[in-house]
């Protein structure tokens, strides 16, 4: 029999979901001022901390309107802050407006004096602001071009220079007289330098290659950049693949270039777009870069000639971000080495390597930052979401910077997620997190959760990504409501090395990861607390795809599902979303791509499904859900829908997440607790 209702089930969703989320830390040049963003139930604002003062709110946005705050940049003297409000446009030039504001929405750069009580002022539409040395002008990007603007709301920005391509990523030279930038020309890209005095452009070793992520040498006389092969005719981007890359060093004046290191194989791609700092040149003369050539995403160090290559982060574990100390002799990095299903902070010598743990235990620490020799990071636990903390290396103490007053959130109803390790039918080892209230003895329904991406990894605590922070909270809520939930880290995800992420025959080439979903369900069915006949599943994006696969392929196991903006037809994605769909699906792959999709055979689908989608989705076409829902309706399959007009893929409003989870919980109750 199923578990009868108890007082445990009276806990509201907001108790699990409403913890404010902190992110996007910026520091002044002298390290004395911190600024970061807090999202409190959809109300996004900037917090600032000066010296030993108590943090205070710098902005006063009072609505859950889905307008993101990002790209915080201090002026050189730390007295001013630029930030971006709003998100980028879709392919039709429309900015996200998930609250359906009558006045519309835009992405714009705002200015705020740190000491002033006046509200932040909008200067110009655009993004990616970078201050000039004088602190009264800045560069920014708009429409694939780079502009210059003074700190004046009435000023008219001027084009810095005119050049073909999508020009961006501007970086001032150490003396402030030149701007290093990348010019994307689609099948190839160039590194350019614009001289602010002579007002001319010189191109650095132009080739048919894709040159990107340029960085200045400390003296400004040379640059380093990453070079990859250009795109051949008919070649399609493939998320699951890799590419060869080289590290190049060029004379900034003459453009004379040499290759100082080449990857042994197709070890690039993920190693460049996933981390926060793909390439750096230290004041000590070392060049740092990411590579997977030893099977894990690690940071490597070498001299500016390519000699003395060292893995600074050896061992089994991925690295996602790092920061150099003031002397640039040490890096502080985050990763899952020695704790595969969490993240912790480590430090390592830039020349010798030899990592030393800075944090450990049951917390999750990410994105280390140094300010005035003080170490900061974002931290979460099993029952508290991501907040900015100060880490004292000598005492090992970790203290939140901002003491939040939590009103509707409470950690008391959370269970401690349990690490479980099991195998798929082909022997692949899988990791998951089990959410189970072991104080209850009665039999309960089981639910499998699949993350999206698929390049993601769910952890033994609140995630460091907003999307999965919310998903984790819902899994906890379901456990409090009389379900046993297993979150499965299926193959093609990150966290377990290159070979796991690049598993054969995944997605549109055979859906090999679906057997991991079956393995998770089998694990749930083996638990005495789970009713084997009441197994559901849910997930978003790639997890939505796997939810639909479960309902279409294994009706004997899965009795209900919540499919959130899933891909249901790989072939349709490859034809209509973008050439190849991001998975390199060519004309010869279309047949297997279609057969690897839930839409290819709906004959066995009988279980009820809740389909959720925002119709301004920029990652998965809304028609993926239109097509599936209408075909299921034609078959008289019980279909419920929750459509969110003007919402994007990441659901920018707190109200959207709340509606999705309230609707999903009600759906599962009706489908699995009969």
Nearest to 554 by CA among 535, 568, 541: 535
Neighbours of 117 (CB within 10 A): 6
Tell me which residue has tokens 């906890």: 476
Sequence spans of domains, the chain: 19-160, 415-672
User: What distance in Å separates the CA atoms of residue 664 and residue 670, rounded to the nearest whole number?
Assistant: 10
In the chain (674 residues long), the average pLDDT of successive 10-residue segments reads 44 95 97 97 97 94 97 96 96 94 96 93 96 95 96 91 95 97 97 97 98 98 98 94 96 97 95 93 97 97 97 97 97 97 98 96 97 96 97 94 89 96 98 96 96 97 97 98 98 97 97 98 97 98 98 98 98 95 95 98 97 97 98 98 97 98 98 93
**What is the model's pLDDT at position 590?**
97
Tell me which residue has tokens 């070498």: 302
DSSP state of 186: S
Helices (H), 228-336: 270-273
Q: If you count DSSP H runs as helices and E runs as strands, how many of each does the chain have, helices first?
A: 10, 40
Q: What sign does the dihedral 523-468-543-341 (CA atoms) show?
A: negative
Q: What sign does the dihedral 661-666-668-669 (CA atoms) show?
A: positive
User: What distance in Å separates the CA atoms of residue 156 and residue 152, rounded to the nearest whole number?
Assistant: 9
User: What distance in Å separates the CA atoms of residue 463 and residue 341, rounded to the nearest whole number?
Assistant: 11
Judge whether 39 and 653 are in contact, CB under 8 Å.
no
**What is the model's pLDDT at position 641?**
98
The token pair that represents 598 in the structure block: 């839930």
Q: What sign does the dihedral 270-275-280-283 (CA atoms) show?
A: negative
**What is the model's pLDDT at position 497?**
97
User: What distance in Å separates the CA atoms of residue 21 and residue 473, rounded to the nearest whole number?
Assistant: 12
**What is the model's pLDDT at position 201?**
97
**What is the model's pLDDT at position 9?**
60
Nearest to 160 by CA among 189, 126, 194, 123: 194
Q: List, as one string, the DSSP characters of 270-321.
A: HHHHSSS-SEEE-TTSEEEEEE-TTSS-EEEEEETTS-S-EESS-SS--EEE
**What is the model's pLDDT at position 406?**
86
Mapping DSSP to helix (H, G, I), strand (E, B) and coil, where does residue 337 land?
Answer: coil
**What is the model's pLDDT at position 6?**
39
Q: For residue 486, what are the β-bridge partners?
A: 434, 448
Task: Match domain 19-160 to its CATH number in 3.40.50.2000, 2.40.50.140, 3.30.1540.20, 2.120.10.30.
Answer: 2.120.10.30
User: What distance in Å separates the CA atoms of residue 674 and residue 664, rounded to the nearest whole number?
Assistant: 16
**What is the model's pLDDT at position 326?**
95
**What is the model's pLDDT at position 407?**
86
Nearest to 72 by CA among 153, 138, 128: 128
Give, for 40, the enclosing helix (H) or strand (E): strand 33-40
Task: Match domain 415-672 to its CATH number in 3.65.10.10, 3.30.420.280, 1.10.1740.10, 3.40.50.1820.
Answer: 3.40.50.1820
Judge whether 450 and 516 are in contact, CB under 8 Å.
no
Work out the burial of residue 455: count CB atoms within 10 Å of its CB; fewer than 13 is exposed, 13-18 middle, 19 or more buried: middle
Work out the burial of residue 635: count CB atoms within 10 Å of its CB; fewer than 13 is exposed, 13-18 middle, 19 or more buried: exposed
Q: Kindly give the interhelix angle for 466-480 and 654-672, rounded to the nearest 10 degrees.
A: 30
Q: Is the peptide bond before 321 cis (omega within 30 degrees of 0)?
A: no
């Amino acid at each position: 029999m199923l578990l009868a209702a108890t007082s445990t089930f009276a806990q509201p969703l907001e108790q699990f979901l409403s913890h404010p989320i902190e992110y996007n830390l910026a520091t002044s040049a002298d390290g004395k001022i911190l600024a970061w963003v807090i999202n409190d139930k959809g109300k996004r604002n900037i917090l600032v901390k000066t010296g030993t003062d108590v943090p205070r709110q710098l902005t006063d946005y009072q609505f859950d309107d889905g307008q993101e705050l990002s790209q915080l940049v201090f002026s050189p003297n730390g007295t001013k802050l630029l930030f971006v409000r709003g998100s980028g446009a879709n392919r039709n030039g429309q900015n996200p407006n998930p609250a359906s504001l009558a006045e519309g929405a835009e992405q714009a750069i705002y200015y705020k004096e740190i000491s002033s009580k006046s509200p932040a002022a909008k200067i110009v539409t655009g993004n990616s602001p970078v201050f000039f040395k004088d602190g009264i002008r800045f560069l920014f990007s708009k429409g694939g071009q780079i502009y210059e603007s003074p700190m004046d709301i009435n000023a008219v920005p001027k084009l810095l220079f005119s050049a073909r391509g999508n020009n961006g990523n501007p970086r001032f030279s150490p003396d402030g007289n030149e701007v290093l930038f990348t010019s994307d020309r689609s099948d190839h890209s160039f590194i350019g330098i614009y001289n602010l005095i002579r007002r001319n452009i010189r191109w650095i070793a132009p080739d048919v290659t894709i040159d990107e992520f340029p960085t200045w040498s400390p003296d400004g006389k040379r640059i380093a950049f990453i070079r990859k092969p250009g795109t051949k005719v008919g070649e399609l981007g493939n998320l699951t693949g890799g590419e060869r890359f080289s590290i190049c060093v060029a004379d900034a004046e003459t453009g004379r270039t040499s290759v100082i290191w080449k990857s042994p194989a197709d070890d690039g791609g993920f190693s460049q777009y996933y981390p926060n700092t793909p390439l750096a040149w230290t004041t000590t003369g070392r060049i740092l870069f990411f590579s997977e050539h030893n099977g894990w995403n690690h940071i490597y160090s070498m001299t500016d000639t390519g000699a003395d290559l060292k893995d600074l982060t050896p061992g089994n574990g991925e690295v996602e971000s790092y920061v150099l100390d003031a002397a640039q002799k040490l890096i502080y990095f985050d990763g899952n080495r020695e704790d595969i299903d969490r993240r912790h902070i480590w430090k390592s010598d830039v020349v010798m390597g030899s990592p030393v743990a800075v944090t450990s235990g049951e917390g999750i620490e990410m994105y280390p930052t140094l300010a005035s020799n003080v170490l900061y990071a974002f931290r979460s636990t099993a029952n508290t979401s991501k907040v900015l903390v100060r880490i004292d290396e000598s005492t090992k103490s970790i203290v939140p910077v901002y003491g939040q007053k939590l009103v509707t959130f409470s950690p008391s109803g959370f269970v401690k997620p349990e690490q479980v390790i099991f195998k798929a039918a082909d022997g692949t080892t899988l990791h998951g997190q089990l959410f189970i209230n072991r104080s209850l003895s009665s039999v309960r329904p089981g639910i499998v959760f699949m993350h999206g991406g698929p390049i993601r990894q769910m952890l033994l605590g609140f995630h460091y990504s907003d999307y999965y922070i919310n998903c984790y909270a819902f899994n906890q809520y379901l456990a409090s409501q009389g379900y046993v939930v297993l979150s499965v880290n299926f193959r093609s995800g990150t966290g377990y090395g290159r070979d796991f992420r690049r598993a054969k025959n995944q997605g549109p080439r055979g859906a090999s990861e679906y057997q991991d979903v079956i393995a998770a369900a089998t694990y749930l069915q083996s638990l005495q607390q789970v009713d084997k006949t009441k197994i559901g599943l849910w997930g978003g994006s790639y997890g939505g795809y796997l939810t639909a696969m479960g309902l279409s392929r294994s009706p004997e196991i899965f009795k209900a599902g919540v499919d959130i903006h899933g891909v249901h037809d790989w072939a349709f994605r490859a034809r209509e979303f973008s050439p190849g769909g991001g998975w390199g699906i060519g004309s010869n792959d279309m047949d297997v791509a279609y057969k690897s999709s839930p839409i290819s055979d709906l004959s066995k689908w009988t279980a009820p499904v809740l389909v959720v989608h925002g119709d301004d989705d920029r990652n998965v076409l809304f028609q993926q859900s239109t097509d599936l829902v209408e075909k299921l309706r034609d078959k008289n399959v019980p279909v419920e829908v929750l459509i969110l007009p003007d919402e994007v893929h990441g659901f920018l409003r707190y109200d959207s997440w709340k509606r999705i989870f309230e609707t999903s919980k009600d759906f599962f109750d009706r489908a699995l607790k009969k």
